[in-house]
Amino acid sequence: MTTQKNGQFVRRPLIAGNWKMNMDHMQAIALVQKLAWTLDDASHDYERVQVSVFPPFTDLRGVQTLVVGDKLSLDYGAQDLSPQDSGAYTGDIPGGFLAKLGCTQVLIGHSERREIHGETDELLNTKIDAALRHELAPVLCVGEGLEIREAGNHVNHTLAQVEAALSGFSAEQLAELVIAYEPVWAIGTGKTAGPEDAQEMSAAIREKLAELYSQEFADSIRILYGGSVKSANVAAILSGADVDGALVGGASLDAEEFAKIAQFEKHITA
Ligand SMILES: O=C[C@H](O)COP(=O)(O)O
Is the distance from the beta carbon of residue 184 to the nearest atom of ligand 1 less than 6 Å?
no
User: Around 72, how many Cα atoms within 13 Å sit in the side-chain half-sphere?
Assistant: 26
> Which residue has a Cα nearest atom 6 of ligand 1?
249
Count of domains observed in the chain: 1
- What is residue 8's predicted lDDT score, i.e. its pLDDT? 54
Q: CATH number, domain at 17?
A: 3.20.20.70
Ligand 1: which atom is nearest the Cα of residue 248? 8
- What is residue 2's predicted lDDT score, i.e. its pLDDT? 57
Q: Average pLDDT, whole number, for the chain?
A: 95
pLDDT for 269 beyond 60: no
Instruction: Give catalytic residue positions.
Output: 110, 182
Ligand 1: which atom is nearest the Cα of residue 250? 9
Ligand 1: which atom is nearest the Cα of residue 54? 1
Overall pTM surpassing 0.90 (yes/no): yes
Binding site listing for substrate: 18-20, 188, 228, 249-250
Is the distance from the beta carbon of residue 228 to the nearest atom of ligand 1 less than 6 Å?
yes
pLDDT for 4 beyond 80: no
Parent domain of 103: 2-267
- What is residue 192's predicted lDDT score, i.e. its pLDDT? 73
Dist. CA 236 → ligand 1 center (Å): 17
pLDDT tens string 229-258: 999 999 999 999 999 999 999 999 999 999
Model ipTM? 0.99
The mean per-residue pLDDT over the stretch 11-31 comes to 98
> Which residue has a Cα nearest atom 7 of ligand 1?
249
pLDDT tens string 112-157: 999 999 999 999 999 999 999 999 999 999 999 999 998 999 999 9
Task: Indicate the pLDDT class of residue 193, thresholds 50, 70 and 90.
Answer: confident
- List own/partner pairs for 159-165 with CB under 8 A and 24 or more apart: 159/204, 159/205, 159/208, 160/121, 161/109, 161/121, 162/205, 162/208, 162/209, 163/208, 163/212, 164/121, 164/122, 164/124, 164/125, 165/108, 165/109, 165/121, 165/124, 165/125, 165/128, 165/140
- What is residue 7's predicted lDDT score, i.e. its pLDDT? 55
Is the distance from the beta carbon of residue 187 to the nearest atom of ligand 1 less than 6 Å?
yes
